[in-house]
Structure 1
Amino acid sequence: MLVAAIVVGVVAVHVLAWRDTEFSPAALVQGWRGMADFLSEALPPDFTWDKVLRPSIEAALVTLYIGLLGTTFSIPFALVLAFLGSRATTSNTAIYQAARSILSFLRSVPDVVFALIFVTAVGLGPFAGVLALVFHNTGVMGKLWAEAMEETDLGPRDALRINGASGVQVAANAVLPTVLPQFVGLLLYRFDVNVRSSLVLGLVGAGGIGFLINQSIKLFRFDQMVTHILVVLVLVVAVDQLSAVIRRRIGA
């Protein structure tokens, strides 16, 4: 009976989602003409060096830099909140709950929303994107690091506490050495994600190649848009491969 109730509930939720999102495969099939017109205007891509390809590569580097700085500058904040928000390193319930609340808030606000806020504060450009990623990534990475620390072996921690070690000493000598490889792996994963996110931030005025993609769409230059997307593809693949190589070396 319980399984049947769960199945019925899941099906009912999907029916409601289908209706409220106006999901319609028939509408997609009927729109084939618009899709055909789009493809005819988008292909072949425009690889003009001075006007399209070179600005696209330069903007892609800015996107990479946004993701890099957004990840790097969030490390100290995420690390402090992770230590305060982990049962492995914090015994004070009030501090633990406060740190967890901050992490939950930063994680729950999308980076695009942070970007819109900082665009109004510091103006259009990559700086707003970096700030947005710092805030959002602090919440995500702090939560991941806190969970990793809570999964460490209790033995070394308890041994140090019994011998009078402080919380900082326990964290530095028992917890951090154990989770350091996992910390680095999670950091590389977040860097990969942040590079992709910085592309979306460009669509709301935070600079980078996302801004060029948005501009191409507004000007109906879909051939230039495809060029920018191809450059993004190369960037994402390169970052992914680099991260994979580093993770394999850490694992070895």
Structure 2
Amino acid sequence: MPTLETLLLQLNSIKVIDDTIPYSQYIPLDLSISNLDLSQIDIKNPNDFEIYIETYLKKNNAKVAFGGYNEVRNLYKQSSLFGDGQVNERNIHIGMDLWIKAGTPVLAAIDGIVYGFDYNAGKGNYGPTIILKHNLENHFFYTLYGHLSIESIENIEIGSFFKKGQQLATLGDSTVNGGYSPHLHFQIIKNIEDHFSDYPGVCNQKDLKYYLKNCPDPDLLLKIK
């Protein structure tokens, strides 16, 4: 049987946000510890960070900034959710972020049913989150959509079916999305274990090998690059 990664590569590229925006208007964004520009702003302040994103997009004549898979970041020092900055600090991002304004439509990656959803409250957390379950040639796996609007989870039900490309949600702003500049955290998960409405989107170096295997690069499916 082919691996899930192989099957994802064989699919046509898909979009998980506003399908009217072509990939030619996407631009990579480096939020790693090596980006010295980030030291010039207060990345803990969502308003400052949103201005940084908007300026970056305007400068590059783009509408969406993307990236972050397997990226070491300082962004998570703002919250105790990610450790105390010691050996087991979780600072390696294992999903893909797509940075664009609040209210942007979020689309189902492929056909699937609602597996779980919740408002994961708290600074640095996902905020409103939806997880879909998929079956691709007997490979069961999940896609996670984090940092959504409150409205996105008000009328949704477990087991509801969403077709590939169907609008699933909209993006939330910093007042509900964990205190971040508006963006979608999109993640593929093979074994969701006992999680239901969330799943780690950031890991530490010690567990990186496991999470990279369990959470394949979302660009295998999106094909932005």
TM over 0.5: no
User: Counting strand residues as a fraction of each chain, which structure ranks higher?
Assistant: 2
User: Counting helix residues as a fraction of each chain, which structure ranks higher?
Assistant: 1
Which structure has the larger Rg over C-alpha atoms?
1
TM-score normalised to structure 1 length: 0.25
Does 1 or 2 have the higher relative contact order (CA < 8 Å, sep 6+)? 1
TM-score normalised to structure 2 length: 0.27
